[in-house]
Amino acid sequence: MESLIQISKINDFLFCPRSLYFHSVYESFSDVTYHASPQVRGRLNHVTVDTGTYASEKKYLQGEEVYLEKYGLVGKIDLYDKENKTLIERKSKISVVHPGYRLQLYAQYFALSEAGFPVERLVIRSLSDNRRYEIPIPEGEELRMFEEIMERMRVFNIADAPLEENLAKCRGCIYQTLCRPL
């Protein structure tokens, strides 16, 4: 069986494909290692004061594990509002909806749909400034891009992945010491 792609790694891959390899190397280390890294700037959200609010309400599914056979994806959704058929991803603070955020939400959307839950709206929420970003259901060019990234992640090989050209980006990268001593 081919290895599965973790939904949480999509954003890393978009940041720099080589992140995918080093993320796996670091996985056995403490999460604290990651907290300042650009790759995970949106990951803090799930452990916020907001988290407990929904857990007891029946209209929400929260933190549900999902599997998407078609693309070999595994991961967790953040929040699904059954009444409003809305899939929500909460971030601590975002000012720009990076492609990685959208693609992670698409992956959750496809997986949840495959599991039989109807999804009509996709939303990314920025908690600290209470902003909502409506994300269109992927189709056309967005869907094509999503499938292309999934395929690139599936066949990824560190030996074929070039170093990032932007040195400043590498300097801000948590994996720089291992990947590219400067």
> Using CB under 6 A as the criterion, which residues of the chain lie in contact with ligand SF4 when the complex forms?
16, 18-19, 22, 163-164, 169-170, 173, 175-176, 179-180
- Output 98 or 180, the one with its CB closest to ligand SF4: 180
- Output 16 or 61, the one with its CB closest to ligand SF4: 16
Q: Nearest 10 degrees: CA dihedral of 26, 2, 153, 103?
A: -100
DSSP, res 138: P
Report the nearest approach of ligand SF4 to the CB of residue 144 (Å): 25
Dihedral sign from CA coordinates of 139, 101, 150, 15: positive
Report the nearest approach of ligand SF4 to the CB of residue 38 (Å): 9
Is residue 135 within 8 Å of residue 102, measured between CB atoms? Answer: yes
Report the nearest approach of ligand SF4 to the CB of residue 44 (Å): 20
- Output 150 or 179, the one with its CB closest to ligand SF4: 179
Could you tell me which residues come within 8 angstroms of residue 101 by beta carbon, excluding any fewer than 6 positions away?
A: 11, 42, 89, 91, 94, 124
- Output 66 or 174, the one with its CB closest to ligand SF4: 174
Buried b (16+ CB within 10 A) or exposed e, 149-161: bbeebeebeeeeb
Report the nearest approach of ligand SF4 to the CB of residue 172 (Å): 8
